[in-house]
A = this chain, B = another copy of it.
Amino acid sequence: MDLIVLGAAAGGGLPQWNCAGGQSANVWHNRLPAQTQASVAVGSPETGYVVINASPDLRQQILQTPQLHPRDQHPMGVRNTPIRAVILTNADVDNVAGLLNLREKQSFDIYGPTKVLEVINENSIFAVLDPEFVKQYPLETTEMIRPIPGVEFELFTVAGKAPLYLEDSLGFESGDLGFTSGIEIRTETSKTLVISSCAQIDQKLQERIETADHLLFDGTVFEDDEMTQLGLGEKTGRRMGHLPISGGDGPIAQLSHCKLKTKRFFHINNSNPIWDEQSLAHRTIRDAGWDICHDGLVFEI
């Protein structure tokens, strides 16, 4: 059973379409490879694959991932896919827009919190996913599902915030509204956590991470104010619901005692210096035993 990183970058991707600064500049000038927006797939050729979050880059991600290509000589005919299910951990555009790429009367299942499914069903544009073929299943936290054999998925609540486009109607200071979740992936031999947004590492989350083998953790920003420092925007990482990597309450400091086999940053913003292997920030995370994800990274779980 493999975990494939389909996209390692945070919303906007690397480079961001309208940004000549930060790490995007390194990509425009061919000093760093481009990276698509955060998504992972879990599965094997025998079982098919589960995609966790449908990024706006999903069509490109499928094309660059041979494991997700349709098969020749398939019993279902020429129209087929190894993608069995999509699990949505929240309703951000970054995580749901890619569903629009999965049209064309193809059967697969969507799992996600009721609030996330509601957002999809309230937007008529998602009606391209014909309910005759695409079934939706509410997935509440602590509930366990097995969309493919040999692996279990469980959503869990993470401190976060409402999606940007619902902030006005819900109010920003509304705290955790069930919009932000991490996902625990269990096989017979390992436990993997994928947490792309995290505003706080509380006791409960720490305990969950202590018993995991592999961790993909919110690597949006290295420093809380790096976006303003670089002239990329007015918001801090915390304002966007993301703990800065380097903070005293951040993942390096708070998770140093965890005996993970692998720990990697994921959902890395185009402002984040850890993309650049020559940077002090990159050296800092490597010295602390962390690595970064990149598009196409595959590891066994």
Contact = CB atoms under 8 A, between A and B. Distances in A.
B20 A127 contact: no
Given A60-B57, A70-B18, A127 B232 contact: no
A145 interface: no
Contact of A20 (B72, B119, B128): B72
A104 interface: yes
A22 interface: yes
B104 A63 contact: no
A165 B106 contact: no
Given A77-B231, A128-B93, A59 B56 contact: yes
A226 to B, nearest CB: 13
Interface residues of A, number: 57
A96 B34 CA distance: 24
Contact of A59 (B57, B96, B124, B128): B57
B106 A18 contact: yes
A96 B128 CA distance: 13
For the complex of A and B, the 8 pairs showing the least CB-CB separation, nearest first, are A21-B78, A127-B165, A20-B70, A18-B81, A123-B123, A18-B106, A97-B100, A17-B62
20 contacts: A12-B103, A15-B63, A17-B58, A17-B59, A17-B63, A18-B81, A19-B70, A20-B78, A21-B79, A22-B78, A34-B63, A56-B101, A78-B231, A79-B231, A97-B97, A97-B100, A124-B165, A124-B166, A125-B125, A126-B165
